[in-house]
Amino acid sequence: MADAPFQPVSDPFSAGQPPAGTPLTVVAQFLKDMSFESPNMPALLEHAGRIPQGLIKVDVNARKMPEERRYEVVLSLRAEARHQDQVAYIVELQYGGLFQLGPVAANITEPLLLIEAPRLLFPFAREIVANTIQQAGFRAMLIHPIDFALHYREQRAAGAGAGPVAN
């Protein structure tokens, strides 16, 4: 069997443009920040196989990048779990994506960036959180799908969090 030279896949963004007609395109995804702590280990080892009671907090932010129609969107997840009265673990994750907007009306820019973009990032962020918790010796936390449209509406009504996209 002969060795063939490696040919990288051509980058559709090498010219800086997404495919024609695409309203939102993922250019890149990245882990921006992450922390994990389990302050009561090893005392909780005997309970590590049990599922502690958990709470998830979600936040989404977007900011304009210098390149035309490019935005950074960051999905933040914070999971805290307790076993009885002790903190089992706290995991905080900021998972980001670089997105290119296609030709869209100005009034849908914010919903695209604060609803659709995090919807695309969420499965990857959820997997990182679940794997981290499992690697720490606990049963993986199942994070149910998040309704980012509802989250967006709630944040807009509260006047916080998912506010206007920073230009």
- Degrees, nearest 5: CA angle 28-31-34: 165
pLDDT of amino acid 162: 47
The DSSP-derived string for 102-129 is -S--GGGHHHIIIIIHHHHHHHHHHHHH
> Per the structure block, which two tokens stand in for 52?
């502690």
d(CA 41, CA 131): 18
In a domain, 11, yes or no: no
64 located within any domain: yes
The span from the CA of 133 to the CA of 37, in Å, is 10
Distance separating alpha carbons of residues 48 and 41, to the nearest angstrom:
9
Q: Is 50 helix (H, G, I), strand (E, B) or coil?
A: coil
| Residue 74: CATH number of its domain | 3.10.420.10
pTM of the model: 0.79
Domain assignment of residue 113, given as a range = 24-158
| Average pLDDT by stretches of 10, the chain with 167 residues | 49 49 89 93 66 83 93 96 86 97 89 95 95 86 88 85 50
User: 2-13, pLDDT tens digit by residue?
Assistant: 555 544 444 444
- The residue ranges of DSSP E strands in 47-155, in sequence order, are 53-64, 70-83, 86-101
Query: Residue 42 domain-assigned?
Result: yes
For residue 13, the model assigns a pLDDT of 47
Q: What is the pLDDT of residue 151?
A: 92
d(CA 51, CA 114): 31
The total of structural domains in the chain comes to: 1
Q: Is residue 147 assigned to a domain?
A: yes
Within-domain flag for 1: no
Q: Is residue 120 part of a domain?
A: yes
pLDDT at 165: 61
Residue 18: asked if its preceding bond is cis (omega within 30°), the reply is no
Report pLDDT for 94: 98
Say if 167 falls within a structural domain.
no
pLDDT in tens, 112-135: 999 999 999 999 999 999 999 889
The answer to the question of residue 55 being in a domain is yes
pLDDT of 45 reads 66
pLDDT of residue 153: 92
